[in-house]
């Protein structure tokens, strides 16, 4: 039987990020993908033209439908949009006791659209992050979550430790937004040791959906039963290849290639 992976996230009509990126990644990594849609976005390679949240009851019911019948070996959250949605997901997570919960604290799209309301950040920190097996912030998201500045290597370590205190079992700080001498360095911390995941920077505009795809790959690997550090290491290889083979489609920033 295929391992089962569930994504709770926003739909990207353009197919590069959000639910669509997650399902493509789940499929590529030989897991059975399921989806709970929190919001519909009208979106393409040029940006987000509209955001339409699904009503709370609809989100609640989608989770119940999936969990009471099929179940999930790992669950990922992406765009949650507001604190009401976060509250529902947090309550379901407590009820179903998801052991492999990957929280990607999605806040703003690369094109600048808000995917999480400012007043929802506290709910993310207090209600959802404490239940996560791992959280996967990029540097701008880590700054929002902690209020810290991140410039030096020590800053990165302190920020990761500060986020670890929020209660997730592990933290992955993604370095893609601040490259260092041609390298992208991610920092993984599980409360014991720091692991650096370093790859050469790839110079491409076609990175739409990178964060979603990376977190989805971690989720698929956890669903398959890999231990967390191994799930992250393999996901890093997957996203590196996906960015390397990112391609131009439409007029703007194209997607990463999930099938690379």
Q: Which one among 115, 145, 226, 231 touches ligand PLP, defined by CB under 6 A?
A: 115
Q: Is 105 in the site for ligand PLP (CB under 6 A)?
A: no
The smaller minimum CB distance to ligand PLP, of residues 3 and 78, is found at 78
Q: Is 45 in the site for ligand PLP (CB under 6 A)?
A: no
3-state secondary structure of 221: helix
Q: Is 211 in the site for ligand PLP (CB under 6 A)?
A: yes
Q: Is 86 in the site for ligand PLP (CB under 6 A)?
A: no
**Active-site residue identified among 31, 83, 212, 246:** 212
Q: How far apart are CA 41 and CA 131, in angstroms?
A: 27
All residues at 6 or more sequence positions from 48 whose CB lies less than 8 Å from its CB, including other chains: 41, 42, 109, 111, 113, 115
Q: Does residue 209 carry a catalytic annotation?
A: yes
Q: Does residue 152 carry a catalytic annotation?
A: no
All residues at 6 or more sequence positions from 166 whose CB lies less than 8 Å from its CB, including other chains: 125, 129, 130, 135, 145
Q: Is 110 in the site for ligand PLP (CB under 6 A)?
A: yes
Q: Which one among 106, 150, 171, 226 touches ligand PLP, defined by CB under 6 A?
A: 106
Q: Is 41 in the site for ligand PLP (CB under 6 A)?
A: yes
Give which of 173, 166, 168, 169 is closest to 141, Cα–Cα: 173
Give which of 12, 122, 133, 127 is closest to 76, Cα–Cα: 133
H-run or E-run covering 252: none
Q: Give residues in contact with ligand PLP (CB under 6 A).
A: 9-10, 12, 17-18, 41, 43, 78-79, 106, 109-111, 115, 208-212
């Amino acid at each position: 039987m295929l391992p089962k992976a569930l994504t709770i996230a926003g739909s990207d009509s353009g197919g590069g990020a959000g639910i669509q990126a997650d399902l493509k990644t789940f499929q590529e990594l030989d897991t059975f993908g399921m989806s709970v849609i929190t919001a519909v976005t009208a979106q393409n390679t040029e940006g987000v033209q509209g955001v339409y949240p699904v009503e709370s009851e609809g989100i609640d019911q989608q989770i119940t439908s999936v969990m009471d019948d099929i179940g999930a070996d790992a669950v990922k959250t992406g765009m949650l949009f507001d604190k009401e949605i976060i509250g529902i997901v947090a309550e379901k997570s407590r009820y179903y006791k998801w052991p492999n919960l990957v929280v990607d604290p999605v806040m703003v799209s690369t094109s600048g659209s808000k995917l999480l309301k400012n007043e929802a950040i506290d709910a993310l920190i207090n209600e959802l992050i404490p239940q996560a097996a791992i959280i996967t912030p990029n540097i701008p998201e880590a700054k929002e979550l902690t209020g810290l500045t991140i410039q030096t290597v020590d800053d990165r370590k302190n920020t990761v430790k500060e986020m670890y205190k929020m209660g997730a079992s592990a933290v992955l700080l993604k370095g893609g937004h601040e490259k260092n001498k041609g390298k992208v360095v991610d920092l993984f911390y599980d409360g014991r040791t720091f692991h650096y995941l370093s790859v050469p920077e790839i110079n491409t505009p076609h990175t739409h959906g990178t964060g979603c795809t990376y977190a989805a790959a971690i989720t698929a690997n956890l669903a398959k039963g890999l231990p967390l550090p191994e799930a992250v290491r393999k996901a890093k290889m997957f996203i590196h290849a996906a960015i390397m083979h990112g391609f131009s489609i439409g007029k703007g920033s194209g997607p990463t290639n999930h099938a690379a």
